[in-house]
Chains A and B, each alone.
Chain A
Amino acid sequence: MIKKCSCVLLLLMTACAPWLPVGGPYESPSHRFSVVLPEKWMKLRAEDDLLLSKDGPFLQYILIQERRIEKPFAHTRKTLQRDMLAQEAAQVIVDEISSDRSVYDFQIIQNTPARINGHKGFQLVFTHKNRDGLVFKTRYCGILAGDWFYAIRYNAAQRYYFDKDIGAFESILSSFEVWEEKTG
């Protein structure tokens, strides 16, 4: 999953990356979720992913993903199941990230249940390093809603940037709305 993010980031480095300024209400092209985006951020829409950044994705990004629950992961053969508890879904995500060989020194700081606009879900807070030893911190929220899994994550360099824009992430999270049946 992190490798996929890296690929998206690589895409952004190319000159033709479709960066657009954002702000205000946003509805996904799939019409499955909506969210209010912060002002002065930029967005990239790639396939089912919505990527936002303010100072550049290598410093901080917010990524919103929607994926069908049966879609296989890259690093674990485990899959999400419709009847999974939030804790079990969180374990699949942890196993996927910790099995990724490009993620160095993966450390879970927090793994707790979370309720996101009425949906039962989970929240992970973890750190990892890149090849150069730079530490990144991630807050990862996930919810299972029907046949879909939604992941809303905030990743930033732990030093300075993570704390700087965590407020924007919390604002997005509180506005996140899934337009499907609610669970729990």
Chain B
Amino acid sequence: MKHWLIAGMTFTAIALWSTTMTASPADIWPSDGEEQRLWLRAQEEERVINESGLLYEDPQLEAYLNEVARKLQPPDVLRSVPIKILVLKDPHLNAFAFPNGVIYVHTGILARMENEAQLATLLGHEMTHCTHKHALKAFRKLKNLHPVSTFDACTQDTPGRSRDLVTLLGSTGALAAITGYTRELETEADQVGFQLVLRAGYDVKEGAKLFEHLKEEIEIYKIKEPFVFGTHPKLKKRIENCEHFLESCEGEKGSGIKNREVFLKKVHKVILENAHLDLKTGRFDMAQKGLERYLALEPQNARAYYLLGEVFRQQGDQERAKAFLGKAIAIDPAYPDPHKAIGLIYYKGGERGRARSYFETCLALSPNVPDRAYIEGYLAECKEE
């Protein structure tokens, strides 16, 4: 009887599992040998990224991003390439797609977007890399250029050769998604992506605005790094692609969906987290813009005011720093970090009495603050005076 019970429970569990699971990259496997190898390589890269601590984990946000992706693609396409969107903690404007349908979007690019139509433009572009097998095309193009070395790398399994294979697949297959594809493949991703966006009812004009944000960042920071819309072809050409597409669909482009409110509701936390990342990388102006944008959405957020205070404190503008840190304290008097930051400003300015008061408040609010040893040192000096 007990065995039947266990068997029944197991059967029920399997049945429930099979009905609730959606298709994942592991369930769908390409028949082509070369493509299989690219997918394996992509899975390995995915594992490394997912264990790196760089994933921005927000199930609600991921669900929203995947919902937008599903709106763009017909169900039969999604059955052959199971698209999965994940977010990476990285302030740089980038997104990349692996051949097995896994797409990583940086917090940096999400935080700069204004609405769902811009997000759809990005996802449409990246999904096209997957659905149109751009990684495989790039791999085969390289194989035709270097047939002997590619053949050797793919067929021999000595340690050195294995490393060649990994390098080869890494640079031309899975990793090509990060560094960008050829001009032709990127143009195809633009064109097909725009069509997906238009067909789903979004305002395609928003795609052009996304390019403008990216152009602005390239100019400010003189970016040379791999960049979703910054390479292959150059951004200028990409803007031309967009303009040509807009001309070709004159009359349809202005009536589309933007979904600004829904987008900002889902993404606003990313704006704050990304501003913190911008601050860490010393991109103070981008951090300031992000925080001001976040505060326009969430005007009573003490952490945003604290980070804005830090933006100015770390640049040496102590008066503006104190103003924003003071606002953070006014909103949340129990938040220790702005007390510590104001204490540091007074300490460095030689106003040890005032510094002492803020440091003591900080430690009283948070006795286990990670930099307690520093603060105790400052307090000891303040007391000596």
Chain B residue at smallest Cβ distance from A112: B373
Q: Does B283 contact A (CB under 8 A)?
A: yes
Chain A residue at smallest Cβ distance from B52: A104
If A104-B52, A104-B54, A133-B51 touch, whether A95 touches B373 (CB-CB below 8 Å) is no
Contact among B53, B314, B377 with A78 in the assembled complex (CB-CB below 8 Å): B314
- Which A58-113 residues have a C-beta within 8 angstroms of B? 75-79, 83, 85-88, 95, 98-99, 101, 104-106, 108, 111-113
Complex interface: chain B residues within 8 A of A87 (CB): 344, 371, 374
Complex interface: chain B residues within 8 A of A112 (CB): 373-374
CA distance A104 to B283 in the complex (A): 22
Q: Does B9 contact A (CB under 8 A)?
A: no
For chain A, the count of residues having a C-beta within 8 Å of the partner chain is: 24
Chain A residue at smallest Cβ distance from B373: A112
Interface code B23-54, partner A: CB below 8 Å = 1, 0 otherwise?
A: 00000000000000000000000001001111
CA distance A77 to B281 in the complex (A): 6
Q: Does B251 contact A (CB under 8 A)?
A: no
Q: Does B146 contact A (CB under 8 A)?
A: no
- Which A107-159 residues have a C-beta within 8 angstroms of B? 108, 111-113, 129, 131, 133
Nearest-neighbour CB distance to chain A for B121, whole angstroms, equals 25
Complex interface: chain B residues within 8 A of A104 (CB): 48, 51-54
Nearest-neighbour CB distance to chain B for A74, whole angstroms, equals 11
Q: Does B348 contact A (CB under 8 A)?
A: yes
User: Are the CB atoms of A98 and B280 closer together than 8 Å?
Assistant: yes
If A85-B344, A104-B51, A105-B52 touch, whether A77 touches B371 (CB-CB below 8 Å) is no
Complex interface: chain A residues within 8 A of B283 (CB): 77
Q: Does B74 contact A (CB under 8 A)?
A: no
User: Are the CB atoms of A75 and B281 closer together than 8 Å?
Assistant: yes
User: Are the CB atoms of B371 and A111 closer together than 8 Å?
Assistant: yes
For chain B, the count of residues having a C-beta within 8 Å of the partner chain is: 20
If A77-B281, A113-B377, A131-B48 touch, whether A101 touches B53 (CB-CB below 8 Å) is no
- Which B62-104 residues have a C-beta within 8 angstroms of A? 90
Complex interface: chain B residues within 8 A of A131 (CB): 48
Q: Does B282 contact A (CB under 8 A)?
A: yes
Nearest-neighbour CB distance to chain B for A70, whole angstroms, equals 14
Q: Does B370 contact A (CB under 8 A)?
A: yes
Interface code B279-303, partner A: CB below 8 Å = 1, 0 otherwise?
A: 0111100000000000000000000
If A87-B374, A108-B370 touch, whether A76 touches B281 (CB-CB below 8 Å) is yes
CA distance A152 to B283 in the complex (A): 27
CA distance A121 to B51 in the complex (A): 33
CA distance A76 to B348 in the complex (A): 23
CA distance A35 to B90 in the complex (A): 39
Complex interface: chain A residues within 8 A of B282 (CB): 76-79, 95
Contact among B54, B280, B281, B370 with A111 in the assembled complex (CB-CB below 8 Å): B370
CA distance A78 to B283 in the complex (A): 8
User: Are the CB atoms of B280 and A113 closer together than 8 Å?
Assistant: no
Complex interface: chain A residues within 8 A of B371 (CB): 87, 111
CA distance A162 to B348 in the complex (A): 37
CA distance A129 to B90 in the complex (A): 18
Complex interface: chain B residues within 8 A of A78 (CB): 281-282, 314
Interface code B106-119, partner A: CB below 8 Å = 1, 0 otherwise?
A: 00000000000000
> 26 A–B contact pairs at CB < 8 A?
A75-B281, A76-B280, A76-B282, A77-B281, A77-B282, A77-B283, A79-B282, A86-B374, A95-B281, A98-B280, A99-B277, A99-B281, A104-B52, A104-B53, A104-B54, A105-B51, A106-B53, A108-B370, A111-B370, A111-B371, A111-B374, A112-B373, A113-B373, A113-B374, A131-B48, A133-B51
Please give 11 more A-B residue pairs, beta carbons under 8 A apart, in addition to A101-B54, A104-B53, A111-B370.
Answer: A75-B281, A76-B281, A76-B282, A78-B282, A85-B348, A85-B374, A104-B48, A104-B52, A104-B54, A106-B53, A112-B373
Interface residue ranges, B against A (CB under 8 Å)? 48, 51-54, 90, 277, 280-283, 314, 344, 347-348, 370-371, 373-374, 377
Interface residue ranges, A against B (CB under 8 Å)? 75-79, 83, 85-88, 95, 98-99, 101, 104-106, 108, 111-113, 129, 131, 133
